[in-house]
Amino acid sequence: MNNSLLQQVLNDNRELASLPQTMAEVIRIARDDNSSAEQLARVMKRDPALTARVLRMVNSPFYGRSRQISSMTEAVVTIGMRQITALALSTSVYQMTDNWQSGLDRVRFWRHSLEVAIASQMIAEKAGYRNTEEVFAGGLLHDIGLMILEKSFPGQFAEVWNQAEREGHLPDLENSLWSTDHAHVGQFLLEQWQLPESICTAVGRHHLTFGPEDNTPELLPSMIVNLAHLVSKFSIASEQHISTTLLVNKEILRTNLDIPSSTLLTVERELFSRTMAEAAYLEIDVGSIDDILLEANRMLFDQYVAVENLLKEVRELKSQVAQYQSA
């Protein structure tokens, strides 16, 4: 990893190098095993807007609470300190980056990020992973490195991004130019914030190709976010690039997490409606229904073409095998 470049990135983004004071204090308390729910709630109450956003989240249908949670103390006791911290962090970063100038389509960026966050939480539940809100945070922040690279190197980033839109392979293009990629830049930033290691490494590994033997417990959050990224339908890029490598990795991850194919299909089927419902509670702009329906129709066509191309590759491969066997 290019450490000098990562340090330059950090120097270029001083406003993001450290979290707002309230959020930094929230994370400090959450990491202290001797702290209490009341202490965490007391600090969060210093930021009324943050408190309101977190309470909206914990009362959303996504959590299925039978009664309204009306106070931050009750939210911390009910949901848990680590989970509340992850939710607070997610909404804080969205607010922090809201005014950044960017060539990236910001609506598409957060629509994809939220979809991956919700998919991460759903997959975690199916895989029996308890810290679902931490993988939610990892999913929501998994592409934060894109905005950091663009902010530090706007001209070079635009060239790399445009090439990736045409050809795919964004991490490879980033590595060829900077000897690192947006996943590792995002991980580096979150480590400076002293976030839980599971969130940091999940962000850093969301493009990693896993093997069938990579099924140890410490890899669970990374595999969950990686799989969530693969099942998400709304990408940031206007063009999607489907490959056999991605499909194979998706199947390996599903198997490693011990999730039946039918269960993962259910997650994919429910993902869109749950994303739209949560966007309203989180106050994240993911676009209008009309825009999303147009995007969905275009995606269906693109996926049809992609499948046709994959079938063509399979036919060509079978033909080559047949020629080799008859030789």
pLDDT at 3 over 60: yes
80 assigned to some structural domain: yes
In a domain, 297, yes or no: no
The verdict on residue 295 lying in a domain is: no
Predicted local confidence at residue 296, as pLDDT: 62
Instruction: Classify the C-alpha dihedral 186-191-192-196 as positive or negative.
Output: positive
pLDDT at 112: 92
- CATH number assigned to the domain comprising residue 226: 1.10.3210.10
Q: Are 230 and 246 in contact (CB under 8 A)?
A: yes
Block residue for tokens 């993902």: 271
Which of 113-127, 265-279, 309-323 has maximum average pLDDT?
Answer: 113-127
Its pTM stands at: 0.82
Angle between helices 182-192 and 170-178 (to 10 degrees): 70
**pLDDT category of residue 242 using cuts at 50, 70 and 90:** low
pLDDT, tens only, 178-193: 999 999 999 998 888 8
Residue 114 placed within a domain: yes
Does the pLDDT at position 303 exceed 70?
no
Q: For 4-8, 121-125, 260-264, which range has the lowest pLDDT when averaged over its residues? A: 4-8
Which residue from 184, 150, 144 is spatially nearest to 12, judged by alpha carbons? 150
Check residue 48 and give its pLDDT.
86
Total tally of structural domains belonging to the chain: 1
Position 320 in a domain: no
- In terms of residue numbers, what domain contains 208? 3-287
pLDDT at 73 over 60: yes
> Given CA atoms 256, 271, 197, 26 in this order, what sign does their dihedral have?
negative
Q: What is the pLDDT, as a whole number, of residue 17? A: 67
Specify if 296 maps to a domain.
Answer: no
* Model confidence band, residue 281 (pLDDT cutoffs 50, 70, 90): confident
Q: Would you say residue 325 lies in a domain?
A: no
Does a structural domain hold residue 311?
Answer: no
> Would you state the pLDDT for residue 129?
93
